[in-house]
Amino acid sequence: MFSLTLRDDARLRPLEPHHAEEFAAHMDRARETIRPWVGASFVTEGSDGARGTLTRYAERQAADGARLYGIWRAGTLVGGVMFTSFDAASGSCELGCWLEPDGEGHGLVTAACEALLDWAFDERGLHRATWHCRADNERSAAVARRLGMTLEGTERESWLFGGQRYDTQIWAVLAPERANGARRD
């Protein structure tokens, strides 16, 4: 089984349909924290909702598209990272992440996204990776900066949440930039 050490007590591995019960329990812990920042279809409820999300990503991965990975800290699922889109033909992908409160502040998302970028650029030969986040999500923008991404622009009032519209930032890094040390740890 694929598993990558992120820190002493944290591991990154595929998050698959057979993890539905564990993912549902994790969503119960994470839901209110992540709800403002991630798509509504991702914030599932119950085992059936969790299984639906995990199956949707498994099907996309089988078609060489989006992929989903969990972050386990001390044996507990605390969050994850994903390719929200992955298009080998065009050489581009978009990364995303989420964490429950117990996973925050340990550098897990940055380390996990570094692994995804290394794989996308070095193994799959992609050219461009993007990161989209609400403009008021300072923690997410900080991850993009640590990954060596450049803020390319802002989509005004493009994110609807709770009846209010928010701006979305678009960050990106290109393979040559990353090869030249664009990481900003």
The CATH code of the domain that includes 154 is 3.40.630.30
Q: Is 153 domain-assigned? A: yes
The one-letter amino acid at 1: M
Strand runs labelled E in 4-127? 4-7, 10-14, 67-73, 76-87, 92-99
Strand runs labelled E in the chain? 4-7, 10-14, 67-73, 76-87, 92-99, 128-134, 150-161, 164-174
Q: Is 170 domain-assigned? A: yes
Q: Which residue has the higher pLDDT, 8 or 99?
A: 99
Give me the percent of the chain exceeding a pLDDT of 90. 88
C-alpha distances (whole Å) from 68 to each of 80, 140, 152, 182 are 7, 18, 25, 25
Q: Is 151 domain-assigned? A: yes
pLDDT band at 182 (very low <50, low <70, confident <90, very high): low
Q: Is 70 domain-assigned? A: yes
Q: Which residue has the higher pLDDT, 83 or 41?
A: 83
Q: Is 113 domain-assigned? A: yes
* Structural domains of the chain, count: 1
Name the burial class of residue 181, with classes exposed (0-12), middle (13-18) and buried (19+) by CB atoms within 10 angstroms of its CB. Answer: exposed
pLDDT at 157: 97
Residue 42 backbone class (left: φ over 0; alpha: ψ -120 to 50; beta: rest): alpha
Q: Is 61 domain-assigned? A: yes
The average pLDDT across 95-124 equals: 95
Q: Is 185 domain-assigned? A: no
| Domain ranges, residue 129 | 4-179
Q: Which residue has the higher pLDDT, 40 or 18?
A: 18
1 has a pLDDT exceeding 60: no
pLDDT tens, residue by residue, 123-177: 999 999 999 999 999 999 999 999 999 999 999 999 999 999 999 999 999 999 9
Give the integer Cα–Cα distance in Å for 57 and 83. Answer: 9
Q: Is 114 domain-assigned? A: yes
How is residue 145 written in tokens? 């900066």
Mode of pairing for the β-strands spanning 4-7 and 10-14: antiparallel
